[in-house]
Structure 1
Amino acid sequence: MGPNVQIGNIYPQHYSRTFYDGMQAEGQDNIVNLVRCAWAGSQRYGALVWSGDIHSSYEDFRKQIVAGLHMGMAGTTDIGGFAGGNPEC
Structure 2
Amino acid sequence: MLHTMLRRRANGESVEQIQPGLVIPTGKREEQNPSVAGAYRALTEHTKREAYPEAVEAAHADFAALQAGEVSGPRTEKTAPAR
* TM-score by shorter chain over 0.5: no
- Which is strand-richer, 1 or 2? 1
TM-score, normalised to structure 1's length? 0.28
Which of 1 and 2 has greater Rg?
2
- Which is helix-richer, 1 or 2? 2
TM-score, normalised to structure 2's length? 0.30
Q: Larger relative contact order (C-alpha < 8 A, sep ≥ 6)?
A: 1
